[in-house]
Amino acid sequence: MSRAGSALRQVLESHSITQYQLSAMMGVNRSNFSRWLRGERDPLAEVVVEIYKALKSVNPKAASEFIRLYLEVAPDEEI
């Protein structure tokens, strides 16, 4: 699985955010979003930023967790 997809899946599950909710906010086709979650495709770097922004508008803690997981930064380390 891709690092972005894995991080995104974990954050959505732990913060009760649906892929439909986030994909709609981002204006992304839900099938493309689903491919990211399954690790079939990696989002482009620009899209990772858009994922962060969308998560931040829903739940700032989810956005921070997504970046930490994506960058593989330990919770006690600063980004």
**pLDDT tens by residue, the chain, 79 residues:** 588 999 999 999 999 999 999 999 999 999 999 999 998 999 999 999 999 999 999 999 999 999 999 998 776 776 6
78 within 8 A of 27, measured Cβ to Cβ? no
The Cα 41–Cα 74 span in angstroms is 25
Superfamily for the 3-71 domain: lambda repressor-like DNA-binding domains (1.10.260.40)
From the CB of residue 56, how many other CB atoms can be counted at a distance below 10 Å?
A: 15
For the chain, the domains span 3-71
The Cα 61–Cα 79 span in angstroms is 14
- Which tokens hold the place of 65? 């967790």
